């Protein structure tokens, strides 16, 4: 009996990885992914079947938005039954936002969705695109006993596999562009491709894939800094259309204890606008109430973001608001992990 090989769908949305240099003009242009095997013949050595699809117009990382997140998710939904895994190519600058969003949009996911990209174009002499792409496909095609090893949204970059909603971009120049500061790597690529299976999400309860598409909530990220102006903060928090706030605080979740700031936060929450406390630090966790300068936030009803990333907090808050979770339940719902994004 002939062995069945995994069928992988490669989805190109835009970004550096899909660009090649026109050596006559020295300008970058979009790569034709229909001919990807000609540019990367090493793909012919992979033990899987690869099909490609692409956005009609490549989206630059800076122009990525939740509307495009949903478009990617719909492509996955349309091909979900016929494909064994998916590799999504996007721009790196907003990849942590996009992949985090995808982890929340795709409910009951039971197949690998692997995001990757590159720091240099695919046609560049020193490009990191080939290794990232080839290994991301290998990860998506990795089986054990006829089932995919990875069953979640992950991000592969420069020899490391991460849980997508735990990542943040840490460098615009180094090939090691991403890190997962508060969660172990899901795998490493070296001489062998190794998975840290204890850290992978377990199989879901068998429910069918479902998309949560309502992500239009008007949410703001407000980063605190010394000397922040009360009038500007008031202007932001009193915006009549505001639906949610991700508050980037100091250290373990600390914020100014000035009366004007405390009152603004309390008034915002009284209007049933949720405020999530996340730390500005690259690693570590919010510990509201540990210091006096965070006790007033805890008493006001601010949501404890624990060790969630800003990118993931934004996506999760949009998801919960899109699901019309009652305000009285929103705090407990946010503080409970649903895709391994915190804790």
Question: Would you say 33 and 108 are in contact if contact means Cβ atoms under 8 Å apart?
Answer: no
* H or E segment and range at residue 328: helix 327-334
Q: Each residue of 197-216: b (16+ CB within 10 Å) or e?
A: eebbbeeeeeeebeebbebe
Distance CA 227, CA 245 (A): 20
Could you tell me which residues come within 8 angstroms of residue 147 by beta carbon, excluding any fewer than 6 positions away?
none
Question: Would you say 274 and 334 are in contact if contact means Cβ atoms under 8 Å apart?
Answer: yes
The encoded tokens of residue 97 equal: 């936002």
Could you tell me which residues come within 8 angstroms of residue 115 by beta carbon, excluding any fewer than 6 positions away?
87, 88, 89, 90, 95, 98, 99, 102, 136, 153, 154, 155, 156, 164
Question: Would you say 137 and 43 are in contact if contact means Cβ atoms under 8 Å apart?
Answer: yes
Could you tell me which residues come within 8 angstroms of residue 150 by beta carbon, excluding any fewer than 6 positions away?
85, 112, 114, 139, 140, 142, 161, 186, 187, 195, 200
Phi (first) and psi of residue 96, to 5 degrees? -65, -35
Phi (first) and psi of residue 50, to 5 degrees? -115, 130
The pairing of beta strand 168-169 with beta strand 178-179: antiparallel
- DSSP H helices, 22-155, are 36-39, 66-79, 95-105, 129-140
Question: Would you say 200 and 152 are in contact if contact means Cβ atoms under 8 Å apart?
Answer: yes
Q: If DSSP codes are grouped into helix, strand and coil, which group holds residue 256?
A: coil
Which one, of 301, 231, 247, lies nearest residue 271 by Cα?
301
Positions marked catalytic: 16
DSSP state of 201: P
């Amino acid at each position: 009996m002939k062995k069945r090989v995994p069928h992988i769908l490669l989805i190109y949305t835009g970004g550096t990885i899909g660009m090649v240099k026109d050596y006559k003009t020295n300008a970058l242009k979009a790569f034709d992914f229909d001919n990807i095997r000609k540019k990367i013949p090493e793909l012919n050595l992979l033990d899987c079947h690869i099909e490609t699809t692409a956005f009609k117009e490549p989206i630059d990382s800076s122009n990525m938005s939740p509307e495009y997140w949903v478009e990617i998710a719909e492509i996955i939904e349309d091909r979900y039954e016929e494909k064994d895994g998916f590799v999504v190519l996007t721009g790196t600058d907003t990849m942590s936002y996009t992949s985090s969003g995808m982890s929340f949009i795709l409910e009951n996911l039971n197949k690998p969705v692997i995001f990757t990209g590159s720091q240099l174009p695919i046609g560049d002499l020193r490009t990191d695109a080939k290794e990232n792409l080839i290994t991301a496909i290998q990860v998506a095609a990795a089986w054990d006993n006829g089932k995919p090893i990875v069953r979640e949204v992950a991000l592969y970059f420069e020899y490391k596999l991460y849980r997508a909603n735990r990542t943040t971009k840490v460098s615009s120049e180094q090939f090691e562009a991403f890190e997962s500061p508060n969660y172990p790597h899901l795998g490493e690529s070296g001489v062998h491709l190794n998975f840290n299976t204890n850290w992978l999400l377990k199989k879901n309860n068998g429910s069918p894939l479902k998309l949560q598409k309502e992500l239009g909530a008007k949410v703001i990220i407000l980063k605190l800094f010394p000397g922040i102006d009360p009038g500007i903060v008031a202007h932001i928090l009193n915006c009549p259309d505001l639906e949610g706030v991700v508050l980037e605080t100091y250290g373990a979740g600390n914020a100014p204890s000035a009366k004007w700031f405390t009152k603004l936060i309390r008034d915002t929450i009284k209007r049933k606008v949720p405020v999530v406390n996340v730390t500005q630090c690259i690693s570590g966790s919010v510990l509201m109430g540990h210091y006096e300068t965070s006790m007033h936030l805890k008493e006001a009803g601010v949501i404890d973001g624990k060790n969630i990333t800003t990118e993931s907090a934004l996506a999760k808050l949009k998801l919960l608001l899109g699901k019309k979770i009652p305000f009285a339940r929103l705090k407990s719902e946010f503080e409970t992990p649903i895709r391994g994004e915190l804790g």
